[in-house]
Structure 1
Amino acid sequence: MVSLKNITKTYNHGTVKAVDDVSFSVEKGELFGLIGPDGAGKSSIFRMLATLLIPDKGSATVAGHDIVNDYKLIRSKVGYMPGRFSLYPDLSIEENLDFFATVFNTTVKENYHLIEDIYVQIAPFHKRRAGRLSGGMKQKLALCCALIHKPTVLFLDEPTTGVDPVSRREFWEMLKRLRQQGITILVSTPYMDEASLCDRIALIQHGRILSIDTPQGIAAAYPNSLYAVKATDMPRLIHVLSTYYPHMHSYLFGEVIHLDARGMGGYNLPDELTQFLTAEGFADIEVKPIAPTIEDCFINMLVRHDT
Structure 2
Amino acid sequence: MGISVTNISKSYKNAKALQDISFEVKPNELFGIIGPDGAGKTTLFRILTTLLFPDQGTATVAGFDVVKDYKKIRNSVGYMPGKFSLYHDLTVEENLNFFATIFGTTIEENYNLIKDIYIQIEPFKDRRAGKLSGGMKQKLALSCALIHKPKVLFLDEPTTGVDPVSRKEFWEMLKRLQQKGITILVSTPYMDEAALCDRVALIQDGKILQIDTPEAIVKHYPTSLYNVRSTNMYQLITSLKTYEHHHSVYPFGEFVHYTDTRSDFNPEDLKVYLESKTLSDIQIERTEATIEDSFMELST
Same fold (TM over 0.5): yes
- The reply on whether 1:285 has 2:286 as its aligned counterpart is no
Aligned partner of 1:168 in structure 2 is: 167
The corresponding residue for 2:254 is 255
Partner residue in 1 for 2:195: 196
1:248 match: secondary structure: strand
Distance 1:84 1:148 in 2: 19
What stretches of structure 1 of length at least 5 have no aligned partner?
none
Measure, in 2, the Cα distance between the counterparts of 1:3 and 1:17. Answer: 21
**Paired residues, number:** 299
Contact preservation (8 Å) 2:246, 2:259 = no
The residue type equivalent to 2:173 in the other structure is M
- Written as runs of structure 1 = structure 2, the 5 A alignment for 1:70-109 is 70-109=69-108
Distance in 2, Cα, partners of 1:66 & 1:225: 44
1:183 aligns with 2:182: yes
Residue 265 (structure 1) aligns with: 263
Name 1:206's counterpart in structure 2.
205
1:236 aligns with 2:232: no
Partner SS, residue 194 of structure 2: helix
Which residue of structure 1 aligns with residue 10 of structure 2?
A: 9
Tell me the secondary structure at the aligned position of residue 69 of structure 1.
coil
Structure 2 counterpart of 1:287, one-letter code: I
More displaced, 144-153 or 240-249?
Answer: 240-249
Consecutive unaligned residues in structure 2, runs of 5 or more: none
- Residue type of the partner of 2:262? M
Matched position secondary structure for 1:175: helix
d(CA) in 2 for partners of 1:146, 1:38: 23
**Alpha-carbon deviation of 1:199?**
0.4
Question: What is the CA distance between 1:280 and its match in structure 2?
Answer: 2.9
Q: Distance in 1 between matches of 2:160 and 2:234?
A: 29
Counterpart code for 1:300: E
Alpha carbons 2:230, 2:282 under 8 Å: kept: yes
Give the letter aligned to residue 275 of structure 2: T
Query: Normalised by the size of structure 2, how large is the TM-score?
Result: 0.98
Which range moves more in the overlay, 247-256 or 172-181? Answer: 247-256
TM-score w.r.t. structure 1 length? 0.95
Aligned residue among 267, 271, 274 for 2:271: 274
- 1:136 corresponds to: 135
* Per-residue deviation, 1:282: 2.4
Measure how far apart 1:271 and its partner are.
Answer: 1.6
- Seq. identity, %: 63
Amino acid in structure 2 at the alignment position of 1:143: L
Letter aligned with residue 181 of structure 2 = G
Q: Using the TM superposition, give the Cα deviation of residue 9 of structure 1 relative to its aligned residue in structure 2, in angstroms.
A: 1.0
Residue 92 of structure 1, CA deviation:
0.3
Give structure 1 regions of 4+ aligned residues with deviation exceeding 6 angstroms.
Answer: none
Local SS of the residue matching 1:251:
strand
